[in-house]
Amino acid sequence: METEVLKPSIEVLKKAAELIKRGEVVGIPTETVYGLAANAYDSKACAKIFEAKGRPQDNPLIIHISSLDMLRNSVREIPPLALTLADNFWSGPLTMIFPKKDIVPDTTSGGLDTVAVRMPDNEDTLNLIEMCGFPLAAPSANLSGSPSPTSADHVYNDMKGRIPLIIDGGECEKGVESTVICFTDNGTAVKILRPGAVTEEMLSQFCKVETDKNVFAKPQENEKVISPGVKYKHYSPKAEIIIIETDDEKALAEFLNSKKQENVYGVIFGNEQGIEINTLSYGITAEEQAHNLFALLRRTDELGVKTAYVRCPEKNGVGTAVFNRLLRAAAFNIIKI
């Protein structure tokens, strides 16, 4: 199959909608990462997503909507708190989990009785969903296990020959996937299953918020997890990733300089002094780091990096999302100095 990469226009969106209505899979831009989209109500079409990604069948998909009507059509119960959060954070990087209606097939929900829903903040993609008239199921558009794609190039790299069309909406603004929450305490509180650009601090303005322990911990083998995604190896480039946690920049420089060797890199914020080994920088603020992280992990592959020592981000705000992704890319390998 030939894979076209096209900039969004009315014609291109129409073409994408036609392909999706016929049961095909299309690469779409969102404000978080690129998605691999198919008709969320069509079991066969969603099966093609799993095939294109090489994704385990029990890992459920997020469905992307363009209106609250599509939410009502897809889920059985909507707590009032969900409408408040939708009002404040949609369209945007917040995914909420609801009990699903039968119209959402088991293939989409990974066999669960629930479905994850979000309204993405991308005008072209919202128009595309409108044109289709049904929600689009879309996981991140990477091969399963690889870093999520934040540009059409990344999608093309992973998906060429596997899907007919990628809509090139430029670089994704946020760079990390949406915050995933479920409701607790009879729909009056929430639990964060995956941190993202909608932070615990932001959600706390509206309700009680807790963060699932698996956000920063490695699930035990055979542990029953709420979000199946946390079980799988994630975001892994070929390089070995090791997180270095320290507040002491002199100690960081000394540690990295002791590792000077071909194909060994330090991944730093970019304002550190005295580092003599190869470096890549991923930005000073958590927002910059989130925006750059996945492109940087892919860059280590292009450079043939053997080991990358990555400076640990701040563990608050959007930094929690960066830290959560890095922990998985590093297979929880973290050194404190």
Chain contacts with ligand TXA (rule: CB under 6 A): 30, 32-33, 35, 59-62, 93, 95, 97, 109, 112, 114-116, 120, 138-140, 177-178, 180, 193-194, 226-229
The 10 Å Cβ neighbour count of residue 262 is 7
- Binding span for Mg ion by CB under 5 A among 93-101, 140-148, 212-220, 257-265: 140-148
Of 65, 64, 60, 63, residue with least CA distance to 50: 60
How far is 314 from 141, CA to CA, in rounded Å? Answer: 27
> What single letter denotes the amino acid at residue 49?
I
Which of the choices ligand TXA, Mg ion, none does residue 108 contact, using the CB cut-off of 5 to 8 A by kind?
A: none
- CB 109, CB 228: distance < 8 Å: no
How far is 220 from 228, CA to CA, in rounded Å? Answer: 13
- CB 64, CB 136: distance < 8 Å: yes
Query: Which of 98/309 has CB closer to ligand TXA?
Result: 98
140 binds Mg ion, rule: CB under 5 A? yes
Which of the choices ligand TXA, Mg ion, none does residue 97 contact, using the CB cut-off of 5 to 8 A by kind?
A: ligand TXA
Q: Which residue minimizes CB distance to ligand TXA?
A: 229
Query: Which of 66/280 has CB closer to ligand TXA?
Result: 66
Closest distance between Mg ion and the C-beta of residue 264, in Å?
Answer: 28
Query: Which of 150/300 has CB closer to ligand TXA?
Result: 150
Closest distance between ligand TXA and the C-beta of residue 201, in Å?
Answer: 19
Query: Which of 140/227 has CB closer to Mg ion?
Result: 140
Which stretch of DSSP H or E encloses residue 253?
Answer: helix 249-257
Backbone angles phi, psi at 60, to 5 degrees: -70, 160
Sort strands 307-311 and 278-281 into parallel, antiparallel or unpaired: unpaired
- Binding span for Mg ion by CB under 5 A among 105-113, 133-141, 158-166, 204-212: 133-141
Backbone angles phi, psi at 140, to 5 degrees: -60, 145
Residues that bind Mg ion (CB under 5 A): 140
